[in-house]
Amino acid sequence: MAIAQNIISIATAAAEKEGARKITRVNVVAGELRGLIPLQLTYCFGVMAKNTIADGAQLGLEIIPVTGKCRKCEETFILKDYQYVCPKCQGEDVQTVGGTELRVKDIEVQ
Amino acid sequence: MKINVMTDILEANDRIAAANSDVFKKHRNLVLNLMSSPGAGKTTLLEKTAEALKGKLRLGVIAGDIETTRDAERLQKYQLPVVQLTTGSACHLDANMVASALPHLDLSRVDILIIENVGNLVCPAEFKLGEDYKVMMLSVTEGDEKPLKYPLMFRESALLLINKIDLLKYTNFKLEEAKANARRVHPDLEIIDISCITGEGIPVWIAWLGQRYQTKFGTAKRA
């Protein structure tokens, strides 16, 4: 709910800055590690958008898979089931380089 | 028309968290964000911690709860600086709520401040409060697969306390499996087994607190 509220605040601020009157779509990028539940977020977004210029806007949700980078052989790979093991050299010193994002990417306005 | 935004959704929260963190540093407070499911034993842990720290380091507590002030009432007999935050319907604490509690605490009389988050394994992991470390508590009555279901919380925490290990024999909780699952998500995670009822593992937890205080301030005790 708080995340939906923040999305709307950010989107409406950006739209008003450009003098837009209505937001038709908000595109959000969310890492898999954030554990967002798309159905739930979409529902909360719809509720919180009421009586704002984002009322009725669509929420686009792009989920970024968890990506790791091996500190030993520098291989970058997508993690399956949160297994922090390098598929190339089997090294376990793996840094998370993707999958924790949470940002409003862009909005479509009228 | 398309407008590029590229704004972090939690940016406003993170800014307030950074300001909180500066306040804590000024008052020489080591700050922990304690998170768990409801009923894992957070408040009992605080009671045990208050007893065990007596004469060593001074504990302060910010207790988050959705409706009641029961947690703060339970802690009153230890004569700690305690502030209760009731979040209303919110399922987590955020940096702004913590900032609002700070004027009600004498931070100069606190060495270790534990912020007891609302019982929930999802949302609290998203919101920084200004803490030095996130500490997560999992009890053996909850199930050993939890780390795989709630990866962010395990990934973000520096320490995992596995509580109620005195009940292990009555449950199908596999301790080694739970630890293996937690380390799949976070290989460097520190884990301490504890029982707030028998007191097992509490000295290890107290030693961890002492070490972290020393790491932050370079002394085992307040100057």
Tens of pLDDT along B99-112? 999 999 999 999 99
CB B109 within 8 A of CB B222: no
Helix (H) or strand (E) holding B191: strand B190-193
- The CA-based angle A72-B178-A41, given to 5 degrees, is 85
Q: What is the mean pLDDT of residues B34-60?
A: 94
CB contact under 8 A, B127 and A2: yes
Q: What is the DSSP letter of B88?
A: T
Using the structure block, give the residue that is written with the tokens 């949700």.
A61
Answer with the residue of higher pLDDT: B76 or A108: A108
What is the sign of the dihedral through the CA atoms of B85, B53, B107 and B25?
negative
| CA pair distance B158, B188, nearest whole angstrom | 8
| CA pair distance A82, A29, nearest whole angstrom | 19
Tens of pLDDT along A49-97? 999 999 999 999 999 999 999 999 999 999 887 778 899 999 888 888 9
- In this complex, the residue of B2, B10, B150 whose CB is nearest that of residue A102 is B10
Using the structure block, give the residue that is written with the tokens 């702004």.
B96
Task: Please classify residue A107 by burial: count the beta carbons closer than 10 Å to its beta carbon, then call 0-12 exposed, 13-18 middle and 19+ buried.
Answer: buried
Q: Which of A32, A101, A104 to mutate to test the interface with B (most CBs of B within 10 A)?
A: A104
Q: What is the DSSP letter of B62?
A: E
Listed by number, the residues of chain B in 99-118 with a beta carbon closer than 8 Å to a beta carbon of chain A are: none
CB A66 within 8 A of CB A90: no
Mean pLDDT over the full length of chain A:
92
- pLDDT above 60 for B90: yes
- pLDDT above 70 for B223: no
pLDDT at B41: 93
CB contact under 8 A, B8 and A103: yes
pLDDT at A73: 95
- Nearest residue in chain B measured CA to CA from A82: B185
pLDDT at A35: 79
CB B192 within 8 A of CB B163: no
Instruction: Tally Cβ neighbours within 10 Å of residue B1.
Output: 10
Task: Please classify residue B54 by burial: count the beta carbons closer than 10 Å to its beta carbon, then call 0-12 exposed, 13-18 middle and 19+ buried.
Answer: exposed
- Angle formed by the axes of helices A2-17 and A38-49, to 10°? 50
pLDDT at B47: 94
Tens of pLDDT along B111-142? 999 999 998 888 888 899 999 999 999 999 99
CB B122 within 8 A of CB B101: no
| CA pair distance B138, B168, nearest whole angstrom | 13
Q: What is the mean pLDDT of residues B90-106?
A: 92
Q: Sorting pLDDT into bands at 50, 70 and 90, what band is B26? A: very high
Collapsing DSSP to helix, strand or coil, B83 comes out as: strand
pTM (2 d.p.): 0.86
CB B201 within 8 A of CB B193: yes
Q: Sorting pLDDT into bands at 50, 70 and 90, what band is B86? A: confident
Question: How far away is chain B from the Cα of A42, in angstroms, using its nearest Cα?
Answer: 15
* Contact with chain B for residue A92, Cβ under 8 A: yes
Q: Which of B5, B11, B146, B155 to mutate to test the interface with A (most CBs of A within 10 A)?
A: B5
The two three-digit tokens of residue A51, written as one number? 């009586």
CB contact under 8 A, A84 and B184: yes
pLDDT at B116: 94
Collapsing DSSP to helix, strand or coil, A3 comes out as: helix
pLDDT at B222: 58
| CA pair distance A1, A48, nearest whole angstrom | 8
- In this complex, the residue of A14, A81, A96 whose CB is nearest that of residue B3 is A14
Closest CA to B191 of B159, B163, B168: B159
- Nearest residue in chain A measured CA to CA from B92: A2
Q: Sorting pLDDT into bands at 50, 70 and 90, what band is B221? A: low
- pLDDT above 80 for B89: no
- The CA-based angle B109-B111-B114, given to 5 degrees, is 105
Question: How far away is chain A from the Cα of B41, in angstroms, using its nearest Cα?
Answer: 24
Q: Locate all alpha helices (DSSP H) within chain A, ordered by sequence.
A: 2-17, 38-49
pLDDT at B220: 60
CB B23 within 8 A of CB B130: yes
